[in-house]
Structure 1
Amino acid sequence: MEVREILQKMLNHETLSREETRDVLVGITRSEYAVEQITALLTGLQMRGVTVDELLGFRDGILETGVPARLDCDRYIDVVGTGGDQKNTFNISTCACFVIAGAGYKVAKHGNYAATSTSGASNVIEAHGVKFTDDMDRLNRSINECGIVYLHAQLFARAMKFVGPIRKALQFPTCFNLLGPIVNPSQPQCQLLGVADLNQMRLYSNVYRRLGIDFGIVNSLDGYDEISLTGDFKVTTNRYERIFHPVDLGLSIADPVNLQGGDTVDEAKDIFDSVLENRALPDRKNVVLANAAFGIQVVDQSKTIDEALALARESLESGRALAVFRKFVELNS
């Protein structure tokens, strides 16, 4: 379909099919469209709101035009947040990934540099001397020998560079902001996703159901895109939907101040290290344990949340999570 036909459909308030948005994405990577046409499309989608089929189509195109990451294991999980909650928390999801790996589960963490906070996953991992790669022998060695692999988004999603300048110029979120969590190039069978609002929770829930993967989506009702323990939080999975309070997990309410990620990457690195070394403030330790517990429950659905929390706590307090991280750094530096 010609781009003018796509734009006409947008003007007529029609939605696009999964195949149409896939074709648009591929066309963008082939430089088939003018900047003004891409800008019009992204603006129209943002004003109307992207549909599940449209989001899946863009995902199809990014994965098709990107670099695949074929891992030599059958079941593993990614833990990621959408970002954009403007809370500048420390690297909770990344810490949780190493706790999950320390509990004996495989993890393929997909991440990038910070967009709205001081330190993204790639920032804090790179600060420890890790070198990012798309070499599959090295990546498979990492997940096989220490249970976790890190996939730096910029090495895999080649299509993103074609829309980067346009997204920056627009200065408002577009549908591409929603794609990060669902374009892990290894296409994991399990994912724990943190979202900043309940509208996003509904959207991603429908996306995951269409993809047929095991998922958990979490949102703290005061606006965090992860389990912050600052109040009630909602969890939606392919098996249940429930609102939790920290006391339901036997944990205390966290002070938002204690979840701040600092003003520099070095400060974020120090907080990250303090958690894995089991010397962090209780609030920081507890939020990592809570997120890791729900991740464990997604990948191992035989576990109750209390059992999953106990596994996460044992991983952290025994030093196994730290040992996994040190091995990860050794293998990837």
Structure 2
Amino acid sequence: MEKHVECLELLAIGKDLPKDLATYAFRAMYTGEMPASCVGAFLMGLKTKGESAVEIAAGVTTALEEARIVGGLTGARIDTCGTGGDNTCSFNCSTAVALYLAALGHKVVKHGNRAVSSSCGSADAVESLGFTLVVEPELVAAELDKHNFVFLFAPNYHPAFKRIGPIRKELGVRSLFNLMGPLLNPARPTHQLLGVPTSRHVRLMGEVLALTGLSCGAVVHGAGGFDELTPFGPADVCWLRDGWIKSDRIDPADFGIPPHKPSDVVVSGRDEAVAVLREILAGKGNAAMRDMVALNLGCSLHLLEDGLSLKQGVDKARDAVASGIAARFFEDVLHA
């Protein structure tokens, strides 16, 4: 029996694939050795069964074998992103967080794409602010040194996905690739704040991050069904540090953040999303959006800065957002 057929047989009876078989199947899919019909069946088999951490990790590690990996980077560097799929049409919170982190002196390697289901994708947002989207791997280190921030446009780094894209489009349903996207950063961040669309994905993706070698991170699912921390109520969290993981809850009320409504952070399209992002970076915008950025920024600072408690991180973040330091910082570096 061919190995990819063996994979399909196991998935058909609801069995998780062992690491070696999962690795084989994903590698065959990326290289084109697996027939297109089997690729569709394989993805649907995983979705129907429910993907395991080992299977997702195998998908990530084999995808990175085919990616244009960025070299020459040292020291701590973070990515802030969500898997999407929460259908909330919210503003670009994770992009605002990334830019504030850079303004505060941290190195940020933001991996993302244009909008698919959201009002404005991270690529659309940073392009509108004046950043370059197509940065070749050998130029990333210099760009990061210059700005503390570099945007890695996913299609430029994952050529193997061009082969799979049409099959995913024909399937027309979300698959594990939507979960894998934020884990495929070619700059291999040491730290990550990862948002997921449901509570059941929190622990699962924490396990995947541990299996794929991340040093320190947090997987979050926020109140209101968001793939970010939100000021609407408690969030489910999975902390990761040096291979161990811990489930937790974060309540914004513990940090003095008043409750807001999900409708307070909705934007209607790209133009509004970009306008709102500019306001937030300048310390303006509505209170719900500022508080949402502060929560996620504070969590990121807690991950990056040794000895900084989560409470201290959120306090520091609220001061940074109130000051509008990000707008001033990027006005200087983009026009230097």
Q: Give the TM-score normalised by the residue count of structure 2.
A: 0.92
Letter in 2 for 1:305: L
* Alignment partners' CA distance in 2, 1:217 and 1:72: 24
The answer to which of 58-67 and 155-164 deviates more is: 155-164
SS of the residue corresponding to residue 284 of structure 2 reads coil
CA RMSD of aligned residues (A): 1.9
* Alignment partners' CA distance in 2, 1:327 and 1:19: 50
Contact 1:91/1:261 (CA < 8 Å) preserved in 2? no
- For each residue in 1:242-273, what CA deviation from the matched residue of structure 2 results, as whole angstroms up to 9, or x when unmatched? 323222111111222220122x2111100000
Structure 1 segments unaligned to the other structure (5+ residues): none
Asked if 1:84 is matched to 2:85, the reply is yes
* 1:297, distance to aligned residue in structure 2 (A): 0.7
* 2:267 matched residue in structure 1: 261
* 2:74 matched residue in structure 1: 73
Contact 1:18/1:55 (CA < 8 Å) preserved in 2? no
Structure 2 segments unaligned to the other structure (5+ residues): none
* Alignment partners' CA distance in 1, 2:333 and 2:47: 39
* 2:30 matched residue in structure 1: 29
* Alignment partners' CA distance in 2, 1:289 and 1:169: 39
- For each residue in 1:193-240, what CA deviation from the matched residue of structure 2 results, as whole angstroms up to 9, or x when unmatched? 111212100111111222342111111133111112112222221365
Asked if 1:133 is matched to 2:134, the reply is yes
Out of 286, 290, 293, the position equivalent to 1:285 is: 290
Change (3 A) 1:7 1:194: same
Structure 2 matches for 1:1-333, cutoff 5 A?
2-212=3-213, 213-238=215-240, 240-262=246-268, 264-327=269-332, 329-330=334-335
Letter in 1 for 2:47: Q
Contact 2:202/2:237 (CA < 8 Å) preserved in 1? no
SS of the residue corresponding to residue 179 of structure 1 reads helix
The answer to which of 7-16 and 31-40 deviates more is: 7-16
The answer to which of 253-262 and 27-36 deviates more is: 27-36
* Alignment partners' CA distance in 2, 1:137 and 1:310: 37
Change (3 A) 1:52 1:221: same
Paired residues in the alignment total: 330
Change (3 A) 1:145 1:129: closer
Contact 1:142/1:149 (CA < 8 Å) preserved in 2? yes
* Alignment partners' CA distance in 2, 1:250 and 1:157: 42
The answer to which of 180-189 and 234-243 deviates more is: 234-243
Change (3 A) 1:78 1:234: same
* Alignment partners' CA distance in 1, 2:136 and 2:220: 32
SS of the residue corresponding to residue 217 of structure 1 reads strand
The answer to which of 320-329 and 119-128 deviates more is: 320-329
* Alignment partners' CA distance in 1, 2:22 and 2:300: 31
Structure 1 residue ranges (4+ consecutive) displaced by more than 6 angstroms after TM superposition: none
* Alignment partners' CA distance in 2, 1:193 and 1:321: 21
* 1:71, distance to aligned residue in structure 2 (A): 4.5
Larger relative contact order, structure 1 or 2 (CA cutoff 8 Å, min sep 6):
1
* Alignment partners' CA distance in 1, 2:111 and 2:333: 15
* 1:134, distance to aligned residue in structure 2 (A): 3.5
Contact 1:69/1:134 (CA < 8 Å) preserved in 2? no
* Alignment partners' CA distance in 2, 1:231 and 1:254: 9
SS of the residue corresponding to residue 238 of structure 1 reads strand
The answer to which of 242-251 and 128-137 deviates more is: 128-137
SS of the residue corresponding to residue 85 of structure 1 reads coil
* Alignment partners' CA distance in 1, 2:88 and 2:263: 10
* 1:137, distance to aligned residue in structure 2 (A): 4.5
Contact 2:195/2:220 (CA < 8 Å) preserved in 1? yes
* Alignment partners' CA distance in 2, 1:328 and 1:21: 44
* 1:73, distance to aligned residue in structure 2 (A): 2.6
Q: Give the TM-score normalised by the residue count of structure 1.
A: 0.92
Change (3 A) 1:255 1:8: closer
Change (3 A) 1:267 1:159: same
Letter in 2 for 1:204: M
Letter in 1 for 2:226: Y
Contact 1:127/1:265 (CA < 8 Å) preserved in 2? no
Contact 1:62/1:158 (CA < 8 Å) preserved in 2? no
* Alignment partners' CA distance in 2, 1:327 and 1:148: 13
SS of the residue corresponding to residue 67 of structure 1 reads coil
Letter in 2 for 1:117: S
Contact 1:194/1:219 (CA < 8 Å) preserved in 2? yes
* Alignment partners' CA distance in 2, 1:30 and 1:244: 42
* Alignment partners' CA distance in 1, 2:237 and 2:156: 31
* Alignment partners' CA distance in 1, 2:315 and 2:13: 54
